[in-house]
Homo-oligomer: A and B are copies of this chain.
Amino acid sequence: MKKIDDAECLIDISSSDDEDNNIVHKTKRKESSKPIFAASSFVPLQNPKESEISDDDEPPALSPSDFEPSCSTNNPQPQQAGSSSTLVASENTSVRSANALLENPEGRNHPTFYLRSRSAAINTAALKDDVYESLDYDVCDNVLFKEEQKRTDNARFNIKKDILRWIIFIQIGVVTALIACVIDIPIEELSAVKYTFLKDSVDNNVAVNLNPNGNLVIPYLYWILMSIIPVILGAALVTYVEPITAGSGMPQVKSYLNGVKIPRIVRIKTLAVKAVGVVTAVVGGLVGGKEGPMAHAGAVVAAGISQGKSTTFVKDFRVFRAFRDDHEKRDFVLGGAAAGVAAAFGSPIGGMLFSLEEAASFWNQNLIWRTLVASIISSFTLNIVLSAYHGLHNFTFTGLFNLGKFEQPLKFEYFELPIFMLFGVTGGLLGAMWNSYNTHINRFRARFVKFKFARIIEAALVAIIGVTLACIMIFFINDCRPLGNDPTDYPVQLFCEDNEYNAMAALWFQTPEATVRSLFHDPPGSHKILTLTVFTLVYFFLACITFGLNVSLGIFIPTGLVGAAWGRLVAMIIFYIFPEATFLNPGKYALIGAAANLGGVLRMTISLSVILMETTGAETSFFFPLIVTLISAKWVGDYFTEGIYDIQIKMSCVPVLPWELLPKYKGHKASQLMSSPVICIKKIDSAKYIYKILRRCKHNGFPVVEDVEGNNRENGRVCGIVLRSQLIVILLNALYEEKKRFWEKEISIETFRNVYPRYPSIDSVRLPNEKQNYTVNLEIFMNPSPVRVSECDSASKIFKKFRALGLRHMIVINRENRVVGIITRKDFLYK
């Protein structure tokens, strides 16, 4: 099991419409059809001759590509993408700037033309992350913002804003739950139709006791048909309509909460595709669950509702305008993800803790409180709707315990604790193995399954493999159990006697979630040891090849299922050997096994333990065994690999900040981490210069300086920071100092907020000659209090600051408060 620390980037970012157009620049079509040179993850220093660029030269296709992500070194189909904003690796240009710096030291006076270097790290790792922007958790309190604050600084406005915020959180809870219902009910109904039909088909085609070999061909074909049709539908939707919806969505939500803006992650289209995708995939019988997608759905709902406008439907409801910034949006998304998890598991505290575990860098009591309320409302709404749907009239629909309530309190004995610990260790080992295999399969997949069509076929193939294996098992393993207190909804008689059912078919003829429920709650003696052994192995394999397909499916349920299966199995085996060991309640050990496996694969220990408690209604006293198991699993697993979500994030090259500074930077100083020299802007600078730097580089933050000697801007004294998006808005609205009398009255923070979150690209700006000499005064636009650190501050300290404050830029200054460098998220990861 190799550590997957240096996982290559496998993300496919070839879709045509991008939320962040400003960072994905158009490149000439002829470039995009160039062959990819760098298949390895290291780009050789080549084409040094291209490094000299003259001052007046302004090649439009050149400088943007300086910061093109090289994630696409592994991008499977740059040729087919055919869209105007395809991301291609132009690695020969991507080293230019650095070369310019290395070979052309006299160029220091023209910072525009060699750009901020990513220092020695001229490999793709340092660049591949440029698809992703950071979110601005830091509020830009410029003069306009303060004016608005002053205008609205009265108790009434604040109360109104507070009430609005609560209303939004309540709405998030309700809508998320409704969407969970929209996902849940069709899955239930369609699965019922499917498995009833299949059961009937088996019953009809296999004449009992007459033909012991049976004729399973017809049901088998039906089964395949009923699997691949939804799977193909779902895979096609995901592949052609919204590729970001592939997988569980948890890694994306994690990244977002960590402060990385993932393109298209919180759009309504994404939500729609995800919902349909997960229904089709689960109904199609793929090995996966709806839980991860539900958390993602919650996040989208939150982002949508809180902004009060939809870009997909080009509709601005003109409400909640005050919440249109990254800071507020992220808080809402936090609540949405919590509500999603709460709805998925019927676990409000688990939902809140999930958010907490994944995004706890910056917290505040009110936010936790609102998140908890959103979670509770979400699970309550789900409860109402499902209760009503199932015709119950009070709120105790037990379906809320998604994995079934343990009716008897789970008791345990002192001597079982070591067993739980061993389960944990096993779970950790199996989890690490699974993560490693899955990663290898996905890497293989990314390399060889490149065509969109092939991906759909692949999904269908996996579905067929699943059905085939299931059929073979049902056919050959004749595990007959007496009917009566049968725990299955679709008892298939097959080759069994009358009044008996096939236990293997019972495991397969339902959704994976229902299978987990069976394993937890079926009475002892519901399965043969052989049945479960084969089932566990097959499921482990199927889960491994399923996660990574181009379908919307979560990993939680299959992982828990595998764990529950081997947990139950081990209990059965021990009981077989020591029949006097009555403490071996197979349901209890299934739960412990599920915890162990989940801990080994996901490593989300805090929320996981609470979710398992809440979703099975286990007693508080059973917390301890669960925690013992989870700790063991996590520690053992962490020794070998990271959690599957983190692996996926790494493979997507998302610059997610870890909890602690990476060990390799320990003992470093700010000056070793920072990028320099920095492109700065004078407080009063020319429109021409601003336009030029915006075209030439893709940086998002520019320190504003004063006290500049001549044009030596990069050594000015810091007085603020201004964002690319702000500069573009300034240019677009022609907010020149010379024309101040025309716009002075009308300008407000709303001007900037209106274009959030999809800021126009610099390409949409025209700067006619007559305006070239106008100047822009950044006084009222810039953020006057950027976070500054001294060049000799220690890396661990600035990292803590960066993380705790949720920053995007940190300006490094010298003793005299002059800019010496800038630190962004990526500097903590790829230096």
Interface residues of A (CB under 8 A from B): 139, 141, 146, 149-150, 153, 346-349, 356-357, 360-366, 368-369, 372-373, 376-377, 379-380, 383, 393-397, 400-401, 409, 411-413, 605-606, 609-610, 614, 617, 619-621, 623-624, 627, 631, 659, 666-667, 707, 717, 719, 784-785, 787-790, 792-794, 796-798, 800-801, 804-805, 813, 815-817
**Contact status of A369 and B785, CB under 8 A, knowing A380-B624, A717-B815, A804-B362:** no
Q: Are A667 and B620 in contact (CB under 8 A)?
A: no
**Contact status of A792 and B796, CB under 8 A, knowing A149-B666, A621-B396:** no
Q: Are B804 and A785 in contact (CB under 8 A)?
A: no
- In the assembled complex, the CB of A284 is this many whole angstroms from the nearest CB of chain B, namely 31
B contact residues around A153 at 8 Å (CB): 666-667
B contact residues around A798 at 8 Å (CB): 785
Q: Are A369 and B400 in contact (CB under 8 A)?
A: no
B contact residues around A383 at 8 Å (CB): 621, 624
B contact residues around A139 at 8 Å (CB): 797
Expressed in whole angstroms, the Cα–Cα distance for A620 and B614 within the complex equals 7
Among B149, B348, B790, contact of A667 (Cβ-Cβ < 8 Å): B149
Expressed in whole angstroms, the Cα–Cα distance for A784 and B793 within the complex equals 7
Among B376, B606, B666, contact of A623 (Cβ-Cβ < 8 Å): B376
Q: Are B817 and A815 in contact (CB under 8 A)?
A: yes
Of all chain B residues, the one with the shortest Cβ separation from A348 is B623
Expressed in whole angstroms, the Cα–Cα distance for A592 and B422 within the complex equals 42
Q: Are B379 and A620 in contact (CB under 8 A)?
A: yes
Expressed in whole angstroms, the Cα–Cα distance for A805 and B799 within the complex equals 11
B contact residues around A619 at 8 Å (CB): 396, 617
B contact residues around A400 at 8 Å (CB): 620-621
- In the assembled complex, the CB of A720 is this many whole angstroms from the nearest CB of chain B, namely 9
Expressed in whole angstroms, the Cα–Cα distance for A175 and B91 within the complex equals 60
- In the assembled complex, the CB of A87 is this many whole angstroms from the nearest CB of chain B, namely 32
What are 9 A-B contacts with C-beta separation under 8 Å? A349-B610, A372-B609, A380-B621, A383-B624, A614-B620, A617-B619, A784-B790, A784-B793, A817-B817
- In the assembled complex, the CB of A781 is this many whole angstroms from the nearest CB of chain B, namely 15
Which 7 pairs, one residue from A and one from B, show the smallest C-beta to C-beta distance?
A: A785-B793, A380-B624, A360-B363, A817-B817, A804-B804, A394-B411, A141-B794
Expressed in whole angstroms, the Cα–Cα distance for A667 and B143 within the complex equals 11
Q: Are B146 and A659 in contact (CB under 8 A)?
A: no
B contact residues around A623 at 8 Å (CB): 348-349, 376, 379-380
**Contact status of A413 and B396, CB under 8 A, knowing A146-B794, A149-B666, A365-B360:** no
- In the assembled complex, the CB of A166 is this many whole angstroms from the nearest CB of chain B, namely 9
Expressed in whole angstroms, the Cα–Cα distance for A395 and B412 within the complex equals 7
B contact residues around A719 at 8 Å (CB): 815
Q: Are B797 and A785 in contact (CB under 8 A)?
A: yes
Q: Are A667 and B605 in contact (CB under 8 A)?
A: no
Of all chain B residues, the one with the shortest Cβ separation from A375 is B623
Expressed in whole angstroms, the Cα–Cα distance for A796 and B393 within the complex equals 49
B contact residues around A659 at 8 Å (CB): 364-366
Among B357, B368, B621, contact of A395 (Cβ-Cβ < 8 Å): B621
Expressed in whole angstroms, the Cα–Cα distance for A796 and B400 within the complex equals 42
